């Protein structure tokens, strides 16, 4: 008799059950195999292959330049590093807006070529047809409302969204619509805590907040930010758990010193 050591994968249904049970959901971004493996083994339930890779991996100022091919490359690397986490991949800018057939073919490419489990897309009513078509193919969709970085040139700034009544009302309607369409959850980015709480109470699918306060069903952060690899990004909502910029900087300087001083490699670090 063989004893199966198969690890049970988190699914979109698990997340719904977590909301019902009042258990918070943890989500972090991942863009490569090695980091995905660590985060998966640490028990993070959802790994997001975010288009924030455009900023923290590729060094662009915005998330707009990253391509579908590049997202697929990152996503397949992340998938190979996970056994348990649900892996969600951002549909990048220009691959789903205004053309639902294109949206479906982008989502299918991500699912087929990377092996990911779901896609995330930014927006509400304006992308209703794209969401419907992707869902009709059986691809789980995570919505994203509030500050949607792919629209940065429309907003003009990265400040808190939906502080005014009109935008808050629109966001509440969009959240209800995303639930009605069949999204399995919604990321709420940089909106007032009271609004995020109201949205969270009004829908049965989980909300995952980033800068949306403590009354949401889960939290997401960009891993490079929470580890302190990025140095200059300091929004109020960000908790830095480590200062890896300093640790890596110091390690690189120590290594350089050892090389220059003929101290690396030592005798035990060489082949006889």
Binding residues for ligand KIV (CB under 6 A):
29, 48, 50-52, 90, 187, 189, 210, 220, 222
Nearest approach, Cβ of residue 161 and ligand KIV (Å)? 13
DSSP letter for each residue of 190-222: S--HHHHHHHHHH-SS-EEEESS-SSSSEEEE-
Compute the distance between CA of residue 92 and CA of residue 106 in angstroms, rounded to an integer: 9
Q: Which is nearer to ligand KIV, 18 or 188 (CB)?
A: 188
Nearest approach, Cβ of residue 62 and ligand KIV (Å)? 11
Q: What number of H helices and E strands is found in the chain?
A: 11, 8
Answer yes or no: 189 catalytic: yes
Q: Which is nearer to ligand KIV, 51 or 174 (CB)?
A: 51
Q: Which is nearer to ligand KIV, 29 or 95 (CB)?
A: 29
Q: At what angle do helices 128-136 and 165-181 cross, to 10 degrees?
A: 20
Q: Kindly report the number of other CB atoms within 10 A of residue 250's CB atom.
A: 11
Residues in the chain: 272
Residue 184, SS3 per DSSP:
coil
For the record, the structure tokens of 193 come out as 């805590």
Q: Which is nearer to ligand KIV, 159 or 253 (CB)?
A: 159
Nearest approach, Cβ of residue 212 and ligand KIV (Å)? 10
Cβ-closest residue to ligand KIV?
Answer: 50
| Residue 103, H or E segment | helix 100-114
Nearest approach, Cβ of residue 52 and ligand KIV (Å)? 3
Q: Which is nearer to ligand KIV, 133 or 144 (CB)?
A: 144
Give CA torsion, residues 210, 211, 215, 219, to 10 deg. 30
Nearest approach, Cβ of residue 185 and ligand KIV (Å)? 11
**Catalytic site residue from 189, 198, 254, 269:** 189
For the record, the structure tokens of 155 come out as 């907003």
Residues with a known catalytic role: 189
């Amino acid at each position: 008799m063989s004893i199966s050591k198969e690890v049970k994968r988190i699914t979109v249904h698990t997340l719904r059950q977590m909301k019902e049970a009042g258990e918070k959901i943890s989500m972090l971004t991942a863009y490569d195999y090695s980091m995905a493996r660590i985060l998966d083994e640490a028990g993070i339930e959802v790994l997001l292959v975010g288009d924030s890779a455009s900023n923290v991996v590729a060094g662009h100022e915005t998330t707009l330049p990253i391509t579908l091919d590049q997202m697929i490359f990152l996503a397949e690397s992340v998938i190979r590093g996970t056994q348990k986490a649900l892996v969600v991949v951002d549909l990048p800018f220009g691959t789903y807006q205004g053309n639902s057939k294109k949206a479906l073919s982008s989502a299918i490419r991500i699912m087929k070529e990377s092996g990911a489990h779901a896609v995330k897309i930014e927006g509400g009513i304006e992308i209703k047809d794209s969401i419907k078509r992707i869902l009709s193919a059986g691809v789980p969709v995570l919505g994203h409302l509030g500050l949607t970085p792919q629209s940065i040139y429309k907003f003009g700034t990265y400040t808190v969204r939906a502080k005014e009544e009109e935008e808050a009302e629109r966001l509440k309607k969009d959240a209800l619509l995303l639930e009605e369409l069949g999204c399995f959850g919604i990321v709420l980015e940089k909106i007032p805590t009271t609004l995020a709480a109201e949205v969270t109470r009004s829908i049965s699918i989980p909300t995952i907040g980033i800068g949306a306060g403590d009354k949401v069903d889960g939290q997401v952060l960009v891993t490079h930010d929470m580890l302190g690899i990025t140095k200059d990004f300091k929004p109020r909502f960000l908790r830095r758990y480590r200062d890896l910029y300093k640790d890596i900087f110091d390690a690189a300087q120590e290594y350089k010193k050892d090389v220059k001083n003929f101290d690396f490699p030592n005798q035990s670090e060489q082949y006889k």
